[in-house]
Amino acid sequence: MKIREYIEDKDFPILKDWITDERTHAMWCANRTAFPLQKESFRQLLDDIAERCGDRAFVATDEDGKLEGFFCYSINKDTGEGMLKFVMVDPARRGKGLGREMIRHAVQYAFDETGASAVQLMVFSANERAGKCYKSVGFTERQRQEKAFSHNGEEWDRINMVVKKTEGNMYGL
């Protein structure tokens, strides 16, 4: 797997079809952009988080350059913590460890290239599969906001998870 910066004209036509239902869309972005995903509104979201938080968008590709995943990353210079956002994996490839591999690469990038002392992310309690993936990479729950988000009568907890840079972690740092 390789990680590279997101290229809208090349990548959007592929990843726009990865989220096929409103519930999955809500779990992915908390409805911060329209469903189904549209190029202009997605660009606006990415521009907004880039301006406000310094986020950069990345994709994961296989050895042949085929798109496997997407995420955004920023670092808070004051706290030294990185933040992963809008993580998604090609649904045709889910369940094969690609999400775990992509998150490992993202965390390694955060530690090695941006000097992060920790990396955090948010996940909804309804997204159990993603929560298990993050735990398998070493993330632990740091904070939970109960019933923070509602979708079609469901109330989801928002869970903040973190992995810290230590000598003994899997990243060899």
pLDDT digits (tens, 9 = 90+) for 47-86: 999 999 999 999 999 999 999 999 999 999 999 999 999 9
> Does a structural domain hold residue 172?
no
Residue 85 domain-assigned (yes or no):
yes
Number of domains making up the chain? 1
Q: How confident is the model at residue 172 (pLDDT cuts 50, 70, 90)?
A: very low
For the record, the structure tokens of 149 come out as 């988000």
Residue 151 lies in a domain: yes
- The CA angle 68-121-49, to the nearest 5 degrees, is 80
**Is 169 a member of any domain?**
no
10-28 pLDDT tens trace: 999 999 999 999 999 999 9
Q: Specify the CATH number for the domain of residue 102.
A: 3.40.630.30
Q: Which domain holds residue 118?
A: 2-164
Cβ–Cβ under 8 Å, residues 82 and 95: no
Model-wide pTM > 0.85: yes
